Each structure stands twice: as C-alpha cells, then as structure tokens.
C-alpha cells in the first residue's frame, strides 16, 4: 500500500461519518396549580406543574461528504427531534413529600405539554414556601422552577385573578311572583381575567329564568366590576324557605391557565296569607223581625302561607255576638266564623264583614260588604188574611149578581 495514500484514505473515511448538528428543544415550566389555594398547617396539598416544549420546531440535520479522485459530493438530511424528559422531582426542606419522583417520562414534541402532579404535607408553621420542581432533559441539562405555596398566610402568592361576588336580592319573594337579582363580579386579584364564562343554575322546577343562564365576558381587569341583571319567575308550588342558586365562574389567567370559582346566591321564598269568603250560610233561611239566627261565614286561605290569628267581626245593626276568633288557616283550607244574632229591624240590611290576620309580612285586614233580607213579623199572615177577605168578598159579589133578576 502506498504510504502517501493512507492519509488521504483516512480523510475520506472521516468525510463518510455524518456530522450531527442538533437544534436542541427548550423545555420550560409554563404553569402550575395548587390545591387548595391556601393550605392549612399539616394539611395535604397537591402541586401540578405544566411542562411545555416551547420550540416551534425541533430538528436534527445530518450532512455527509464523499470524495475521491473524481472530487467530493455533500449530502444533508433533516429529521425531527423531540425533548426527552428523563426525570422530575420536587425538592423541599419544609414539606413532607408523599409522591414527588418521576422517571423516564418520555418525549415531548414541539409545542406539546405534559402535567406532573406531586403530593405533599404542609409544615406546621404558617408562611409562604417555595418548593422547587427539578426537571432533567436528556442532552439539555435541567430546569429548576420554584412554586410558591401559601400555608395559612394572609399574603397573596401569585398575580392571579380573584372575584368578589356581591349580590342584591329581594328580602322576601312570594311564591307565584317574579323577582330580579343583581350580581356584581369584582376582580380583586392582581391580574386580569379573560374569556370568562358565568353560569347561573336554577335549582327548582318551580322557578324559571327569564334572563340568560350563561354569560360570556371578554375580560375583567384588576379592580374592575361587571354587572349582571337576572330575572326569574316562580309558581305557587315552590318550597318555602331558603333557596340557593349555584353560580360558577370559569376564566383564563394571563398565562392561559383555566380556573374556576364557585359560589351560591341565597334567596328567601316566603309565602303570604290571603283570606276570602268561600261560603255564606244563614240558619234559618227566612228571618223575621225579632228572630234569633246564626250567620256562618267560611273563611278560605287562598294564599301560600299560614294565615294566623284570624279574627272576624260584623258591622251590623243587630244584637248578639258580632265577633269570632278563627285561629290559624293553612293554605288551601277554610274555617267557619260563626255569629249568633237577633234581627231587630226589617228590610234589606247592608252590613260589613271585617277580617284581620297575621303572616310573616305583618298584620293584614280586609272588609267585605254583604247584605241580608229581614221580613216584618206577621207580615205574611196579615197578607194571607187580607187576601182571604178579598177573595170572600169577590165570591159574595159574584153570587149576588147571579141570583138577581
């Protein structure tokens, strides 16, 4: 072999070995979520970190050159390369780590993400702590990211939105009526929220929403307030008492993390008593001057709550018992008010029924004009006697005319 040709052969073989030029992808922690947001001492907490391959594209370019006595030829090819996560752990001196080690997680392609969750027990001392997420990427070193955790501390941890919900509701809502609610959403957090969805749920079949149940809000900035005007209708079958409206707010933070805040709106359904006359009865039915008779008025509660301490009285120019205590009448029921009277005058007698009762809204009273008819004592007997005499006179007159020549 020609010794002078040996270096040339070595150089040619080196050109045949591909030269690797790699554009290494970039893996970063792009978000985290802590549950619960504020941790009590010695309480369990979960930390979820989001790892994202932030490169638009990851590729490996291989080039090779062949040469000989006739010259050299260069060739290149490009193949995609993903980021391979070898391990992930959570380093802390303050928390007790219950689950905090991952191995051989796998590859993440360009613009892809993966979530890793760690479980810990909080320390007994209150404060703000910063356990670190350590991520090791093959051929790209490692990533360290401190995660702030609030252990019963009054200080805000991160610049996240936080909504205060103010409600304006009626003090009392009567079944079968409509009502309005006003809900104010104030962002008391340290950053704006965007792509906000507000969902209001109607909890009963006896209540109907007259306004939209779902709202989309583009964004609410820091210290800004958004007003919602809600309208509802009820029927008479709605249960009496406190009724809760579930309210959920979902939104995106500045780092496009989806968050949710849930609350409830309490309203008070309170019935109302309504008294009316369902039946009118007089015994005996024919009344003459000087007669003693009973007047029975059945009082019906057509409302949606108890009518309590029901009292009835008559404004009538007769003698007797003109007042009656009925007591409590439940919705849909009736009860008698009985009056024993003596007719002291004849003719068409006009009088007034007065009723007072109590419900949760206070004392109520109604007045109902009524009338009855009283005949004069003996009036019918005299009329019959007069008619008898008249009839007899007619008979005598006709008889005399018949026998006259």
The model's pLDDT over 47-87, given as tens digits with 9 standing for 90+, comes to 998 888 876 554 454 555 555 545 555 555 555 568 889 99
Same domain (yes/no): 176, 241: yes
Same domain (yes/no): 142, 66: yes
pLDDT (0 to 100) of residue 227 = 94
The pLDDT of 328-347, averaged and rounded, is: 92
The pLDDT-based confidence of 401 (bands split at 50, 70, 90) is low
Same domain (yes/no): 237, 288: no
pLDDT at 121 over 90: yes
- Say if residues 263 and 247 touch (Cβ distance below 8 Å): yes
The pLDDT of 163-189, averaged and rounded, is: 88
Per the listing, tokens 């320390």 go with: 123
Where is the domain boundary, 96, 130, 151? Answer: 151
Where is the domain boundary, 269, 300, 324? Answer: 269
The pLDDT of 297-322, averaged and rounded, is: 92
Average pLDDT, the chain: 81
- Say if residues 160 and 259 touch (Cβ distance below 8 Å): yes
Helices (H), 68-212: none
The pLDDT of 283-295, averaged and rounded, is: 90
Locate 75 and state its tokens.
Answer: 């060739």
pLDDT (0 to 100) of residue 45 = 92
Same domain (yes/no): 282, 264: no
Same domain (yes/no): 147, 10: yes
Same domain (yes/no): 227, 365: no
Same domain (yes/no): 305, 251: no
Same domain (yes/no): 265, 279: no
pLDDT at 162 over 80: yes
Locate 212 and state its tokens.
Answer: 């939209």
pLDDT at 88 over 70: yes
Q: Which of 141, 140, 105, 116 is nearest to 29 (CA)?
A: 116
Same domain (yes/no): 93, 176: no
pLDDT (0 to 100) of residue 308 = 93
402 in any annotated domain: no
pLDDT (0 to 100) of residue 390 = 65
Of 14-18, 129-133, 263-267, the poorest mean pLDDT is in 14-18
- Going by their DSSP bridges, the two strands 27-35 and 44-53 should be labelled as antiparallel
The pLDDT of 162-182, averaged and rounded, is: 88
Q: Which of 264, 260, 243 is nearest to 251 (CA)?
A: 260
279 in any annotated domain: yes
Of 125-139, 266-280, 304-318, 373-387, the poorest mean pLDDT is in 373-387
379 in any annotated domain: no
388 in any annotated domain: no
pLDDT at 17 over 60: no
Report the alpha-carbon distance of residue 33 to residue 185 in Å, rounded: 23
Of 115-119, 138-142, 369-373, the poorest mean pLDDT is in 138-142
The pLDDT-based confidence of 5 (bands split at 50, 70, 90) is very low
Which phi and psi angles does 363 have, rounded to 5°?
-95, 135
Where is the domain boundary, 223, 247, 269? Answer: 269
Same domain (yes/no): 253, 290: no
Please report, for the domain that includes residue 144, its CATH number. 2.60.40.10
190 in any annotated domain: yes
pTM: 0.46
Domain that includes residue 241, residue range: 163-269
pLDDT in tens, 223-248: 899 999 999 999 888 888 888 888 99
Considering its fold, how many domains does the chain have in total?
A: 3
399 in any annotated domain: no
Same domain (yes/no): 127, 22: yes
116 in any annotated domain: yes
pLDDT (0 to 100) of residue 400 = 60
């Amino acid at each position: 072999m020609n010794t002078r040709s040996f270096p040339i052969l070595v150089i040619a073989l080196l050109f045949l070995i591909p030269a690797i030029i790699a554009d290494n992808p970039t893996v970063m922690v792009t978000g985290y979520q802590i549950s619960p947001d504020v941790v009590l001492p010695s309480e369990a907490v979960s930390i979820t970190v989001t790892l994202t391959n932030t490169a638009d594209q990851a590729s490996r370019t291989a080039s090779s050159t062949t040469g000989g006595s006739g010259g050299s030829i260069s060739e290149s090819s490009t193949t995609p390369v993903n980021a391979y996560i070898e391990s992930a752990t959570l380093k802390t001196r303050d928390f007790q780590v219950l689950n905090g080690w991952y191995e051989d997680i796998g590859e993440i392609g360009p613009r892809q993400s993966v979530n890793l969750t760690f479980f810990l027990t909080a320390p007994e001392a209150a404060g703000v702590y910063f356990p670190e997420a350590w991520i090791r990427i093959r051929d790209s070193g490692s990533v360290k990211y401190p995660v702030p955790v609030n252990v019963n501390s009054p200080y805000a941890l991160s610049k996240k939105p936080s909504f205060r919900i103010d409600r304006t509701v009626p003090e009392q809502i009567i079944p079968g009526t409509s009502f309005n609610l006003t809900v104010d959403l104030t962002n008391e957090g340290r950053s704006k929220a965007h792509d906000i969805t507000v969902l209001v749920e109607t909890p009963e079949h006896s209540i109907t929403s007259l306004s939209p149940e779902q709202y989309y809000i583009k964004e609410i900035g820091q210290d800004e307030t958004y007003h919602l005007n809600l309208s509802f209708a009820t029927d008479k079958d709605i249960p009496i008492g406190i009724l809760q409206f579930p309210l959920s707010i979902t939104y995106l933070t500045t780092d496009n993390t989806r968050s949710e805040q849930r609350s409830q709106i309490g309203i008070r359904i309170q019935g109302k008593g309504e008294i009316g006359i369902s039946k009118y009865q007089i015994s005996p039915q024919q009344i003459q001057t000087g007669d003693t008779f009973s007047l029975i008025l059945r009082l019906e509660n057509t409302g949606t709550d108890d009518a309590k301490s029901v009292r009835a009285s008559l404004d009538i120019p007769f003698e007797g018992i003109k007042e009656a205590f009925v007591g409590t009448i439940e919705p849909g029921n009736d009860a008698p008010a009985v009056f024993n009277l003596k007719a002291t005058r004849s003719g068409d007698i006009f009088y007034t029924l007065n009723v007072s009762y109590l419900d949760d809204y206070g004392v109520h009273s109604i007045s109902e004009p009524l009338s009855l008819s009283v005949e004069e004592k003996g009036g019918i007997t005299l009329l019959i006697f007069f008619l008898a005499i008249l009839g007899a006179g007619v008979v005598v007159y006709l008889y005399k005319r018949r026998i006259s020549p």
